[in-house]
């Protein structure tokens, strides 16, 4: 019987609160621990998921009772992260001044992800930010 090329995927809905960010990273670690080469994605994936989730909490104009959905899937050799929110705003990459205390999250995503983007949600409410992460090379 041929093997399936369907990605092993994970999805969860979390409260739209800053306090949910560590839970999102924990769920990602648990997902990656079940993959044969999951440790090769862990550091970059945790950092980027934390930034994307925090941005969704901070910048979403959605009602407070809306959840943020996270999704992970290993597709071929790339980890795909998605962070869904019901907000209408779209992220913009900008340069942060040296004295700025915030504003570097999307810069990190741009620098560390192989590719990333923002896509309207199929249901017409909100959007999701996605990022593809290549495995770290082993030395």
pLDDT tens per residue across span 55-68? 999 887 777 788 99
Residue 33: inside a domain? yes
End-to-end distance of the chain based on CA atoms, in angstroms? 36
Question: Could you tell me whether strands 78-85 and 67-75 are parallel, antiparallel, or unpaired per DSSP bridges?
Answer: antiparallel
Q: Which two tokens stand for residue 58?
A: 């901070």
**What is the Cα–Cα distance from 47 to 109, expressed in whole angstroms?**
9
Residue 138: inside a domain? no
Model confidence pLDDT, tens digit, residues 2-46: 444 545 799 999 999 989 999 999 999 999 999 989 999 999 999
Q: Which two tokens stand for residue 88?
A: 């209408």
Residue 5: inside a domain? no
Predicted pLDDT at 97? 64
Sorting pLDDT into bands at 50, 70 and 90, what band is 1? very low
Task: Please report, for the domain that includes residue 84, its CATH number.
Answer: 3.30.565.10
Q: Which pTM value belongs to this model?
A: 0.86
Range of 120's domain? Answer: 11-91+102-133
Total domain count, the chain: 1
Residue 69: inside a domain? yes
Residue 96: inside a domain? no
**What is the Cα–Cα distance from 24 to 111, expressed in whole angstroms?**
21
**What is the Cα–Cα distance from 5 to 23, expressed in whole angstroms?**
29
Residue 46: inside a domain? yes
Residue 6: inside a domain? no
Predicted pLDDT at 20? 94
Average pLDDT estimate for 77-89: 92
DSSP symbols for 38-61 = GGGTHHHHHHHHHHHHHHHHHH--
Predicted pLDDT at 60? 79
Residue 2: inside a domain? no
**What is the Cα–Cα distance from 84 to 66, expressed in whole angstroms?**
11
């Amino acid at each position: 019987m041929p093997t399936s090329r369907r990605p092993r995927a994970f999805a969860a809905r979390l409260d739209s609160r800053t306090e949910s960010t560590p839970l999102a990273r924990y769920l990602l670690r648990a997902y990656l621990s079940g993959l044969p080469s999951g440790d090769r994605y862990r550091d970059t994936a945790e950092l980027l998921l934390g930034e994307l989730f925090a941005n969704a909490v901070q910048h979403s104009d959605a009602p407070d009772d809306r959840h943020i959905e996270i999704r992970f899937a290993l597709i071929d050799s790339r980890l795909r992260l998605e962070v869904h929110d019901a907000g209408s705003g779209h992220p913009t990459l900008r340069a942060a001044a040296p004295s700025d205390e915030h504003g570097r999250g999307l810069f990190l995503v741009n620098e560390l992800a192989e590719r990333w983007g923002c896509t309207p949600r199929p249901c017409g409410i909100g959007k999701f930010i996605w990022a593809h992460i290549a495995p770290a090379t082993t030395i």
